[in-house]
């Protein structure tokens, strides 16, 4: 196995490895260390069945089932999220900068995204490094943010407590969780900026109007070009990212072409 960094900010390609087969424990540990060092790791020319995709991800933790009603899993595989943009679609899933499901009390460790069908050009994904976003802040801004807690919100299906299944017909309720604006990563011990424009709505104890000027600045700051890398896809490309220290953005620049990805997410 060889590691080839993508760019200075974050990201690396992992070469000479077949992730369709079970990996030895020391290789899993090595990949885990590499993931937390580079935050985004990319495997090329892989050929995975649905079970192989899930089995690879399970080596890093239990699998997550997405609670959002618009996130459609594959039939018979609730852990596999099918992310598709058809030729005539104008919008893409997850179309703004975000970290996944930060509206949960325990946001996920990361996701393993497998490219099934990709356009001839375009359809790349940008990733941003939240360690660098924190480190580039002034000392005064760091001191201000250290004491702040942010509210992360979205709507999710209401679940029947007796069965654990969503009510039918579907009812949506607001999911809202609090997270420190400056977090310490549990694996690396490094501080990072933890807000995103998709789910972070305001600061605890403040209104949205009061919170908006500072949040808007942080949203712009977090995704500065020098904090980012770009992953180009081809069928068989697999990308595994550390959800707690990155944000990502799918680029919607391939109208008239189809793109299908399968995503499996690992819980903490």
Q: pLDDT tier at 121 (50, 70, 90 boundaries)?
A: very high
pLDDT at residue 152 tops 90: yes
- DSSP lists the bridge partners of residue 160 as none
Average of per-residue pLDDT across 29-45: 98
Pick from 15-29, 64-78, 152-166, 183-197: least confident: 64-78
Average of per-residue pLDDT across 203-211: 97
Query: With the C-alpha atoms ordered 258, 219, 224, 113, is the resulting torsion angle positive or negative?
Result: negative
Please report, for the chain, how many H helices and E strands are present, in that order.
5, 16
% of the chain beyond a pLDDT of 70:
98
- DSSP lists the bridge partners of residue 262 as 82, 114
Q: Which of the 8 DSSP states describes residue 62?
A: P
Distance CA 232, CA 24 (A): 28
Q: How many CB atoms lie within 10 A of CB 72?
A: 13
Average of per-residue pLDDT across 168-191: 89
| Residue-level pLDDT at 93 | 82
Q: DSSP string covering 63-131, please?
A: BP----TT-PEETTEEEEEEEEE-TT----TT-SSB-TTTTSSS--SEEEEEEEE--SS---EEEEEHH
Task: Give Cα separations from 211 to 93, 123, 130, 202, 254 (angstroms).
Answer: 26, 33, 20, 5, 35
pTM, entire model: 0.93
pLDDT at residue 218 tops 80: yes
* Mean pLDDT, the chain, whole residue set: 94
| Residue-level pLDDT at 69 | 53
Average of per-residue pLDDT across 140-152: 97
| Residue-level pLDDT at 158 | 82
Higher pLDDT, 89 or 163: 89
Pick from 68-82, 121-135, 185-199, 217-231: least confident: 68-82
- DSSP lists the bridge partners of residue 255 as none
Tokens of 21: 């087969």
| Residue-level pLDDT at 159 | 78
pLDDT tens digits, one per residue of 71-99: 677 888 989 999 999 999 998 888 899 99
Q: Can you list the domains of the chain with their CATH numbers?
A: 2-87+107-121+229-266 (3.60.130.10), 130-222 (no CATH)
Would you say 201 and 152 are in contact if contact means Cβ atoms under 8 Å apart?
yes
pLDDT at residue 70 tops 60: no
């Amino acid at each position: 196995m060889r590691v080839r960094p993508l760019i200075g900010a974050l990201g690396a390609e992992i070469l000479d490895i077949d992730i369709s087969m079970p990996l030895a424990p020391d290789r899993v540990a090595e990949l885990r260390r590499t993931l937390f060092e580079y935050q985004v790791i990319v495997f090329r020319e892989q050929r995975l069945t649905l079970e192989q995709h899930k089995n690879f991800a399970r080596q890093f933790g239990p699998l997550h089932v997405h609670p959002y009603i618009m996130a459609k899993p594959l039939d018979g595989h609730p852990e596999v999220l099918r992310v598709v943009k058809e030729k005539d679609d104008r919008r893409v899933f997850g179309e703004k900068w975000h970290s996944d499901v930060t509206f949960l009390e325990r946001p996920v460790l990361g996701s393993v995204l497998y490219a099934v069908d990709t356009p001839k050009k375009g359809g790349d994904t940008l990733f941003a490094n939240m360690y660098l976003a924190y480190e580039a802040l002034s000392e005064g801004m760091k001191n201000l943010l250290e004491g702040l807690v942010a509210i992360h919100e979205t709507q999710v299906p209401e679940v029947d407590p007796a069965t654990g299944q969503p009510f039918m017909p579907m009812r949506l309720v607001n999911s809202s969780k609090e997270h420190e604006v400056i977090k310490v990563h549990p694996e690396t011990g490094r501080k990072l900026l933890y807000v995103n424009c998709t789910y972070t709505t305001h600061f605890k104890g403040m209104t949205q109007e009061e919170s908006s000027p500072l949040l808007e600045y942080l949203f712009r700051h977090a995704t500065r070009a020098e904090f980012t890398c770009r992953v180009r896809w081809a069928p068989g490309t697999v990308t595994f990212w550390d959800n707690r220290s990155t944000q990502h953005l799918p680029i919607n620049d391939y109208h008239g072409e189809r793109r299908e990805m399968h995503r499996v997410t690992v819980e903490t």
